[in-house]
Structure 1
């Protein structure tokens, strides 16, 4: 998922969440007897949300139904786009491998993830490595998480990963490029009392 899509996703989720919390909290507060806020649509706790006059006010206007239908259609299309964008992030099932003779073979993505994680976890200072392949079958992207021991140098761990495991995976699969997002996390050891 691209960075722009991540930002749009988080902003939309934040706005929708804030609106729902504000509206739901206000309805709950007014329903429990709290005074209605100044921006509240109704006067008190026993007021209905939409009375008959409000529900039928625009029914006879010629522009009302086309606007409602168009707005709902745009909303449905935006929500479908959002859903497709979120679902496309999932893990790859297979990767196309260039065999060198003009043909292509298919490699299970989990096998490549396992091999990458094993090699990435070999160097001294790396406690655990996790790899996930995303993207498309012909152009995979690697998401690597390294858990480093306290004495490990993050710079050398990253350099070893890029020149070692990632380069080997790219070469063995015949990929021209293998972009990777690497997250490093250090293991924290707690002090223990020695007697």
Structure 2
């Protein structure tokens, strides 16, 4: 959902910037101004003296303009950090029991979890993604199940088996998991 909203918002902002920027460039280079353009020719200024000083006597005008611009800048920074934030956990802090800690590569733990989950009875494919913080990791597990498998039993086997072993071996108090189950679709075969 967030990815779709992000792409639509980026597309709309990009389209507006290209249309406005292209029209400013075209009018500045001497092309006739479009009918919707706010100025008549290439020698017009964007803000005339009358437009700039129109709200000078209103005490609320400039603080409002600055507040709106500050909010837009903060929203832009929030959006940028949301886009650039890493969704995959690169390291997990493992409690070694002696007061120190060790770092375990996130991909290694993902691979082991996926391998153990893939070995469960009736699991055709398993994919694991670690998220969260290094001291409090979370997992997202996707399992593709064979048609004959009971989803409840597969989920129980996963939580009591692979996830419990990973939690215990890493010395974590908890290892929350979001598990998505999907059935495998097989092609129809002719039986004679």
Summarize the Cα distance change of 1:89–1:155 in structure 2 as closer, same or farther, 3 Å threshold: farther
Segments of 5+ residues of structure 2 without an aligned counterpart are 20-32
SS at match of 1:59: helix
TM-score, normalization: structure 1?
A: 0.73
- Choose the corresponding residue for 1:135, options 109, 119, 132: 132
Segments of 5+ residues of structure 1 without an aligned counterpart are 1-5, 28-44
Summarize the Cα distance change of 1:11–1:148 in structure 2 as closer, same or farther, 3 Å threshold: closer
Counterparts of 1:113 and 1:181 in 2: how far apart (Å)? 14
SS at match of 1:119: helix
Please list, as runs of the form range in 1=range in 2, the aligned pairs for 1:17-28 lying within 5 A after superposition.
Answer: 20=12
CA apart distance, 1:47: 1.2
- What's the CA shift string for 1:68-103, capped at 9, x where partnerless? 333222112112113323433521111000011111
Q: How many residues align?
A: 167
Counterparts of 1:11 and 1:122 in 2: how far apart (Å)? 34
Summarize the Cα distance change of 1:83–1:125 in structure 2 as closer, same or farther, 3 Å threshold: same
Larger Rg: 2
TM-score, normalization: structure 2?
A: 0.74
CA RMSD between the two structures = 3.0
- Mean CA deviation greater in 68-77 or 152-161: 68-77
Structure 1 segments (4+ residues) deviating >6 Å: none
Residue of structure 2 in register with 1:85 after alignment: 82
CA apart distance, 1:150: 1.2
2:107 aligned with 1:125, yes or no?
A: no
